[in-house]
């Protein structure tokens, strides 16, 4: 198996359901509608909270949801991002007249590939933890008691799966499918969704001088997930890689200043520590590349 072989024949099966209503105006309208639906559903979410909770408590939850520094804030943030998947599902029903499950590919194959790749990714992450070096530039700091973490863990796993799955459904499902049925070049249907995904990670206020490096990381991640989707013919492998990556970064070990509310440990430095973050970002690029190779090996693609 050559790393650089572009064997994308399963991709034709993945995008086939999008061929029936593939006009560009539908796609552009679908993107606008998806954004509107996401905002509307977010308002419904917080409006419901206002109905069942004290206004002051909801204000605190909304504030915490912007940084994810508390468990409640993280749950709100993750489930809110899950609304991206709901929005994409509604768009394909209303605009493209097809079933939402077509966004992930053949369901049984997608589930089988997800399980295989997720298992391989968990083994990889365990190996990274066991093998040297044994720290991240300093000792990890305990973020919460183990008992409380274990209590929150089942819901946290579900929340991360919803968030990562929703992002893959929107970017590698809806956008990639609709572009691929109109443009044969992978430079369009891979790069455009990945660039949008990368820009969604632009955090200049938090990351400072590393903001564009993080955008580059997320963009490359999007390209590799698009490649996995094209090779496998489903979103199963991409969701698995995204899920395990976020599980490690949000539930096991997080940075202390962003999205740390569900993490057992936090790193000895945060996004604001620009020099240390810059030193470790190349490691993240390396782990991402190895994760892509492991996923490809797991599905033999």
**pLDDT tens digits, residue range 16-71?**
999 988 899 999 999 999 999 999 999 888 788 777 777 666 666 666 666 778 89
Q: Strands 141-142, 253-254: parallel, antiparallel or unpaired by DSSP? A: unpaired
- Tell me which range, 35-49, 63-77, 126-140, 184-198, is most confidently predicted by mean pLDDT: 184-198
For 132, left (φ over 0), alpha (ψ -120 to 50), or beta? beta
- What is the Cα–Cα distance from 212 to 217, expressed in whole angstroms? 9
Helix axis angle for 236-247 and 146-168, nearest 10°, is: 150
Query: Above 70 in pLDDT, residue 265?
Result: yes
Judge whether residue 269 has pLDDT over 90. Answer: no
What does pTM read for this prediction? 0.93
Q: Please tell me the distance from the alpha carbon of residue 276 to that of residue 269, in angstroms, as a whole number.
A: 7
pLDDT of residue 1: 46
Angle CA 185–100–86, to nearest 5: 100
How sure is the predictor about 165, in pLDDT bands with cuts at 50, 70 and 90?
very high
pLDDT more than 70, % of the chain: 91
| Class of residue 140 by CB neighbours under 10 A (exposed 0-12, middle 13-18, buried 19+) | middle
Rounded CA gap, 137 and 168, in Å?
32
- Which of 242, 206, 174 minimizes the C-alpha distance to 28? 174
- C-beta separation of 281 from 136 below 8 A: no
Mean pLDDT of the 80-109 span: 96
Can you tell me which residue has the tokens 């049925």?
A: 181
- Between 168 and 277, residue with greater pLDDT: 168
Q: How far apart are the first and last CA of the chain?
A: 8
Q: Which uninterrupted H or E stretch holds 85?
A: helix 71-94
């Amino acid at each position: 198996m050559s790393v650089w072989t572009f064997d994308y024949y399963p991709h034709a099966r993945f995008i086939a359901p999008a061929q029936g209503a593939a006009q560009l105006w539908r796609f552009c309208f679908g993107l606008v509608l998806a954004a509107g639906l996401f905002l509307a559903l977010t308002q419904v979410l917080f409006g419901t909270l206002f109905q069942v909770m004290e206004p002051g408590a909801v204000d605190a939850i909304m504030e915490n949801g912007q940084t994810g520094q508390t468990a409640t804030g993280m749950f709100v943030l993750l489930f809110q991002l899950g609304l991206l998947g709901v929005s994409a599902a509604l768009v394909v029903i209303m605009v493209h007249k097809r079933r939402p499950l077509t966004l992930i590919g053949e369901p049984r194959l997608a589930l089988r590939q997800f399980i295989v790749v997720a298992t391989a990714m968990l083994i990889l992450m365990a190996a990274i933890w066991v093998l040297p070096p044994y720290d991240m530039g300093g000792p990890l700091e305990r973020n919460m008691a183990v008992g409380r973490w274990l209590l929150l863990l089942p819901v946290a796993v579900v929340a991360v799966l919803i968030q990562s799955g929703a992002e893959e459904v929107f970017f590698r499902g809806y956008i990639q499918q609709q572009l691929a049925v109109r443009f044969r070049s992978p430079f369009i249907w891979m790069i455009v969704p990945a660039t949008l995904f990368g820009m969604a990670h632009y955090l200049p206020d938090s990351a400072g001088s590393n903001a564009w490096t993080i955008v580059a990381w997320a963009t490359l991640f999007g390209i590799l997930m698009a490649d996995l989707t094209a090779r496998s013919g489903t979103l199963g492998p991409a969701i698995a890689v995204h899920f395990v990556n976020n599980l490690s970064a949000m539930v096991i070990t997080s940075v202390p200043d962003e999205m740390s509310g569900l993490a057992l440990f936090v790193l000895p430095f945060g996004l604001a520590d620009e020099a240390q973050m810059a030193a470790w970002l190349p490691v993240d690029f390396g782990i991402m590349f190895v994760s892509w190779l492991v996923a490809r090996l797991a599905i033999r693609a």
